[in-house]
Amino acid sequence: MPRRSASNPARNRPTAANVAARPALRGREILVCVCGGIAAYKTAALVSALVQRGCGVTVAMTRAARRFVGPVTFEALTGRRVLVSLWHGGEPGDIQHLALSERADLIVVAPATANLLGKLANGIADDLVSALLLGAACPVLLAPAMNARMWQHAAVQRNLTFLRESGFAFVGPEEGWQACRTVGVGRMSEPETLLEAIHAALPPRRRRDRERPPREPL
């Protein structure tokens, strides 16, 4: 993927003008899955931007993700409970990991770690996030983030090839400074880039949904 040029922070800051310029996102339901990586801090900015653009956002987190960003951060941003376990109570009769994906227009995994990509490529569903993805009833957008050597590993590249061929959409990773204090490919894309990818990955609105407001919290 081409290297991003340096951006002007003021230009990327959400304003009333650029929030209103995204009517295609208003009323859409996005399920954001957060995995355990330092890039999870960017996901908080992404979730905030989606909410400001009128999306209904529900967040699911792996156990490792909660070591980097606390659920209370996402609850404050979305106004919804953060889901962390298959054993959370839901609506009577709901099989939670299936019901969540059926209500969503798009699932975004950010950051998508090497561990998560390996689970998904090999059909492993041993926690809420991996079960959500294997039972997904909507498109899935993956935003990988990992150390450059991990990204280049043959096993990771094999998993990526399989997932692309299986219909999963990807955004990034990008080249830049990493948490391991080296420069390389593996940085999760910035929130503005993720927003553009979400816009492109969303399926057309269903006729009955074209004028709907954001759904009630899941």
Around Cβ 198, how many Cβ atoms within 10 Å? 27
Catalytic residues: 180
3-state SS class at 168: coil
Q: Which of 107, 94, 58 is nearest to 78 (CA)?
A: 58
Around Cβ 52, how many Cβ atoms within 10 Å? 16
Residues 6+ apart with CB under 8 A from 167: none
Q: What is the b/e burial string over 9-23, where b = at least 16 CB atoms within 10 angstroms of the residue's CB?
A: eeeeeeeeebeeebe
